[in-house]
Amino acid sequence: GVGINGETLIIHNITRYCDGIYECVAFNDVPPAVNRVISVMVEFPPEVWLVNQKLGQYVGKETILECKVTAFPQAVSIWKFQNQDLFNSFKHRIDVYQDRGHMLTLSLRLPNVTREDFGQYSCYASNSFGMDEETMILYEYFPPTTLTPAVTATAIPRHTTTINKRNRLFKSTIYNENELIPYNRTLNGHNPGAPYSGRQGYNTGQTNSHHVGLLIFSSILSSIYLFDTSCFMML
């Protein structure tokens, strides 16, 4: 309670939150005490509050817009679309629900939203002390699109053969795009990376010229490469 002694209670700068029940109690040394109850009602202009500032919706769905209006005396409250007053029709239905105290809820129901219904809506309220208005946007909602990641095929080197002879380095790389398991190849029975010691039955003391064709078949490269193997002779 206020708890102020005296015969007069002065409320300065009164607001709508000062309304309610006030009780004046009088007593002296002789019981009982007497009291008087006074109800104070404060009149004030409307205050409009929107539940949503923006709302997205699919075409063809039902949509309900709501605003809350607090005023005393009770305000005249309406919905507007593109600054035009809305009334009950086959496209719109307006309902009013009484909340606590001086608050009410103004509901606008659109049973079947079309593209013409998207735009700016306003909730407007007025009484003898003033007016208030708040706006919101109803926009078309589109479902999110799913993007399929692109698949890129890249040729990966699968095997490298290196032959070392008299400080000469020969390297050939085989690409196979369709084969995922690595594989090994040998050249004339010779393991890749091992020293080349000449073929059995050849005289390593003479200079002989032998031309051996090295054929590399690839699923990507359809050409045939020929290496002159005279550089592989044992001198």
Looking up tokens 């209670």 gives 9
Domain with CATH 2.60.40.10 in the chain: 45-140
106 closest CA partner among 115, 97, 114: 97
Radius of gyration in angstroms for the set of CA atoms belonging to the chain, rounded to a whole number: 47
- CATH homologous superfamily of 45-140: Immunoglobulins (2.60.40.10)
**Which pLDDT value is given to residue 133?**
96
**Which pLDDT value is given to residue 229?**
42
One-character DSSP codes across 132-183: EEEEEEEEE--PPPPPPPP------EEEEEEEEETTEEEEEEEE-SS--S--
Letter string b/e over residues 5-41, b meaning 16 or more CB atoms within 10 A of that residue's CB:
eeeeeeeeeeebeebeeeeeeeeeeeeeeeeeeeeee
Residue 101 DSSP one-character state = T
**Which pLDDT value is given to residue 227?**
42
Whether the CB-CB separation of 46 and 132 falls below 8 Å is answered with yes
**Which pLDDT value is given to residue 225?**
40
Separation between Cα atoms, residue 57 and residue 69, nearest integer Å: 24
Question: Which residues is 173 bridged to in the sheet?
Answer: 160
Separation between Cα atoms, residue 201 and residue 58, nearest integer Å: 87
Whether the CB-CB separation of 208 and 202 falls below 8 Å is answered with yes
Per-residue pLDDT of the chain (235 residues; tens, 9 = 90+): 566 788 888 888 989 889 899 999 998 888 899 999 999 999 999 999 998 999 999 999 999 999 999 999 999 999 999 999 999 999 999 999 998 889 999 999 999 999 999 999 999 999 999 999 999 999 998 877 777 776 666 656 555 555 555 545 444 444 444 444 444 444 444 444 444 444 444 344 443 434 334 444 443 334 434 444 444 444 3
Structure tokens at 142: 């589109």
Whether the CB-CB separation of 119 and 81 falls below 8 Å is answered with yes
